[in-house]
A and B are shown apart, each in its own frame.
Chain A
Amino acid sequence: MANVWSNLGDWVTERTPGMLPMYRKHMTEYYAPKNFNLWYYFGSLALVVLIAQIVTGIFLTMNYNPSAAGAFDSVQYIMRDVEWGWLIRYMHSTGASLFFIVVFLHMFRGIIYGSFKRPRELVWLLGMLIFLVLMAEAFMGYVLPWGNMSFWGAKVIISLFGTIPVIGTHLVEWIMGDFLPGDATLNRFFALHVIALPIVLLLLVVLHIAALHEVGSNNPDGVDVKHGAKGNRWSPLAPADGIPFHPYYTVKDLVGVGFMLLIAAFIIFFAPTLGGWFLEPDNSIAANNLVTPAQIKPVWYFSPFYAIVRMVPSFMDTAVWGVIAMFGSIFVLFAMPWLDRSPVKSIRYRGRGYKIALTVFVIAFLGLCAVGTDTTAEVIPAWFGDVDVTFWENLFGRLMTLLYFGFFAFLWAYTYFGWETTKPVPDRVTTHD
């Protein structure tokens, strides 16, 4: 019996001689640093969520009707008439939000451990491209149910492009294929969301992992294990601080997957709307181009970027500055490898100024989230009573915007002019052995 399998294995290997070496290169002989911590789970979790979104998305597509007339009804058809349709839908909506939680934490890991620095700039750039495509994918996915938030969210976001001088109006009409978001818009968003962007995402993810495996993984100490001490218990030539990705990190990531599925299952089965954060009540009303929802705000994962749009005022008769600032807030992240000029990768060995600046950045990001989700608009009158909410929200939001961009400016100056005092980086990784 075992003979059959090994014969089959030999048959395949003779015809695809590169497969087994590839498996070794990427799994059993990919030596990853042995000191990965909690922050290192989110890459594999993002991959799991991507696959889950694709599988649940395929099954949703089997019953979804991408026309403006039928889309909303088809979602209710899935929720009520299709066997287990409600579960598949909730998996997809929960997965969308989980995707961003995981990706934000994954990106934050890259920042705190300097994983974007040389030689991993390409890994970082590809990751940032994935993030951009993911945002487009999520935006289009949100339009598909054609609820009232889908419609008005689409209208507002697309109209941001209308602020671009000269070409703005034509650009907006071109994006929508109509004079307001309608059947044409919905159909093309469907095509992009279901097939075009997922293909692009998968391609980028493959490149992202390939680029990483070429240069090897970073680690919480920022120690270069690849060019450091050699020789471990699996191979005398491999990095001393490296361990084979398979089985050690496959088995460890499995635990992480179990944990994430627990959280996901709790949300899916007991709180699928998560109090309106994951599925918004205004989207339970069918799209109506004559009635705007009381509060237009984007889904939570777009909130900090949308806050920046709102906080930057109009000048010279155009609101394009807010749009430029919003895209700028994402593009500035692309530039991280060239802004942060410190030779030290990990926050563990960096100067106090950096740690303070990063803390301020996180506070600014969360503050912008609060503004974008209209939390500040609710909290200010609740805490401070009868005050000019707009004035104070603008003050707070603009401060947070300045702090957000200020972090990058500070980081560049701090490292370019050599104001940072770093600690010595060890030769070997530190573990809690």
Chain B
Amino acid sequence: MADEVVDHGRRRFLTVTTAAVGGIGVVAAAVPFVESWQPSARARAAGAPVTQSLKKVEPGQQLTVAWRSLPIFIVNRTPQQLATLPTLTARLADPGSDSSQQPAYAKNETRSIKPQWLVMIGICTHLGCVPDYKGKIEPEPFDPNWQSGYYCPCHHSHYDIAGRVYKNMPAPKNMEIPAYHFIDDTTIQIGVDPKGAA
């Protein structure tokens, strides 16, 4: 019985190579299972972009539509409402929208593509209630110097007419702006950025 010399180097090489290739196989096999958790075609269809006509929204009026089960506020802002925005800087927690969520094209004073149209996810950034639209510039019980905006009934956070939160409110951030773009002057599509937008 000839005692062959064990080539340990070859053994180690083959073992490591087989283990490595096997490992690649295991990872590759895991991909379908992990990916199966991604939203299915059914979920994506239900969460598909929503097209909305703006024709019937009067100046100063808010329209609420659903997108991905979220309330989307669409406001046809009047020039008076827009004029309030620069005057509130000192009263706001984050006037420059630095820590809130919005697309790059909505990181401006009006937090929108066109100043006239506010498109915003109507969820209070405190604990998720839907704030009330208080569009009139007139004194309110909660603020004698109310400059139009939103008032959350749950814990009384105040927002301006661009969804920016006032200082010393329970809510920490401005309300979120979703991806959206104008298909034409009177129609928007919520859920898709404008072409070529950042």
Contacts and interface: CB of A to CB of B under 8 A. Distances in A.
> CB–CB under 8 A between A and B in the complex?
yes
Interface of B: 18, 31-33, 35-38, 40-42
A88 B32 contact: yes
A81 B33 contact: no
Interface string A76-100: 0100111111011000000000000
A88 B40 contact: no
A62 interface: yes
B32 A84 contact: yes
A83 B36 CA distance: 5
Interface string A41-66: 00000000000000100010011000
A62 B36 contact: yes
A38 to B, nearest CB: 21
A331 B125 CA distance: 67
B36 A77 contact: no
B41 A87 contact: no
B41 A81 contact: yes
Contacts of A59: 33, 36
A55 B33 CA distance: 9
Interface in A234-265: 254
Nearest to A52: B29
Interface residues of A, number: 14
14 contacts: A55-B33, A62-B36, A62-B37, A63-B36, A77-B42, A81-B40, A81-B42, A82-B36, A83-B32, A83-B36, A83-B38, A84-B32, A84-B36, A254-B18
A88 B35 CA distance: 11
A282 B40 CA distance: 27
A83 B41 CA distance: 8
Contacts of B40: 63, 77, 81-83, 85
A290 B89 CA distance: 73
Contacts of B31: 84
Contacts of B37: 62
A88 B40 CA distance: 14
A80 B41 contact: yes
Nearest to B25: A261
A87 B30 CA distance: 12
Nearest to A62: B36
A77 B46 CA distance: 14
A81 B41 CA distance: 5
B42 A84 contact: no
